[in-house]
Amino acid sequence: MLIGKITRRLYAYFLASKKTLYNFLLKLLSNIYQLLNKKKYSSLFFENLLSNRATLDSVENFIEKKSYESSNDLYGLPRNRIKYINKKINQYPTYTDLLTFFPKALKLKNINYVEIGVSVLKNFYQISNSVEMSTLYAFDINDINPSIAKNFKLTNENQNIKSYNYKSNKIHYYKGDVFNHDDLKSFSKLVDKANIIFSDANHSPEGVLSEFDFLIKNILDDNFLIYYDDLNKNIENAFNYIVKDLGSKYPKIKAGSFLINGWLGQNEKMHRNGFITNTGYIEILERNNVKLLDMRIVK
């Protein structure tokens, strides 16, 4: 029995060490790739990127310890990653750079932006500084992060909805659960038709399909971009289902996945993201010399 116990512990240690080594190598390769592949982005894309970096630099601390510890899920920010939340990131694109470039490239006005799973609002705050005369909707299981909310002007508070003004934009923050269908239905009534939807809440097939069935497909504008962070193997089938479902209504949609930096930039390994759009956004990225690593088109 003792030998069996020791064997199980050694095997568990081996698996943990193997995963740590694997993640280290992925991060190393990600950073080597970024150093060797500095693209000559168009001036429009590069100016957009620099504007996002300036927004990040304007925030001294994205989350206070008291707020972080009070969250049941730590705002979706693992303890081994929180040390990177305020670190500077390089000039290799992040998913935020792709999201903020969408309305600029297509010259869209009065954006309706929806983010599902806003965490500490690091991405959301950059979006709110990138667009003008727009309406931004945030959905998260946590209370709004006070470190960022202090920059917004509260205009209304009603149960689980808080509304704010920020510069020329209007912001609505809905505290809800992606597994609670009543929350999603209630949120969908608050949202006008959305141009951009960023899914970054529960990265499971159940979570992704729940938010799609009870929210996303009911709020799409005529022209849209749906963007998924952390498109891991577990939700690949759910993503393909969504592509097929939307394809029956929007025959011109295109979908794909690729590797990109997230909210921590080069401080973590690149991970797979995905998008679904019925616009010419893919061609626009190519024309602006934004090459996405390991692009896979979904048919």
| CB-CB contact of 261 with 270 (8 Å) | yes
d(CA 151, CA 136): 15
Give dist(CA 247, CA 143) in Å, integer: 35
Can you give the pLDDT at residue 137? 98
* Residue 199 binned pLDDT confidence (cut-offs 50, 70, 90): very high
The pLDDT > 70 percentage for the chain reads: 88
Q: Is the domain covering 40-298 a CATH 3.40.50.150 domain?
A: yes
pLDDT of residue 22: 60
Q: What pLDDT score was predicted for residue 159? A: 87
Angle between helices 95-106 and 122-130 (to 10 degrees): 20
Sorting pLDDT into bands at 50, 70 and 90, what band is 27?
A: low
Q: Is the pLDDT of residue 232 over 90?
A: no
DSSP label of 291: P
Confidence of residue 85 (pLDDT cuts 50, 70, 90): very high
**What is residue 38's three-state secondary structure?**
coil
Which amino acid belongs to residue 9?
A: R
**Interhelix angle 205-214/181-190, nearest 10 degrees:** 40
Average pLDDT, the chain: 90
The predicted model gives 209-219 an average pLDDT of 96
Q: Which two tokens stand for residue 58?
A: 């304007």
From first CA to last CA, the distance across the chain in angstroms is 52
16 has pLDDT over 60: no
Task: Return the pLDDT at 156.
Answer: 97
Burial (CB count within 10 angstroms: exposed 0-12, middle 13-18, buried 19+), residue 178: buried
> For the chain, what percent of residues have pLDDT higher than 90?
78
* Res 52 pLDDT > 90: yes
Q: What is the pLDDT of residue 243?
A: 95
Written as one letter, the residue type at 43 is S
Lowest pLDDT segment from 10-19, 163-172, 231-240, 268-277: 10-19
* Average pLDDT of the segment spanning 225-242: 93
Instruction: Please report which helix (H) or strand (E) contains residue 285, including its range.
Output: helix 281-287
Average pLDDT over residues 1-19: 55
Reported as a single tens digit per residue, the pLDDT across 254-296 is 999 999 999 999 998 898 999 999 999 999 999 999 988 999 9
The sheet with strand 220-228 has its strands ordered as 153-158, 161-166, 169-175, 135-140, 112-116, 194-199, 220-228, 271-277, 254-260, 293-298
Q: What is the pLDDT of residues 63-82, one digit of tens each?
A: 999 999 999 999 999 999 99
Q: Tell me the β-bridge partners of 164.
A: 154, 171
pLDDT band at 233 (very low <50, low <70, confident <90, very high): confident
Cα distances from 84 to residues 62, 78, 160, 280, in angstroms, run 10, 11, 30, 34
268: Cα within 13 Å, side-chain hemisphere: 20
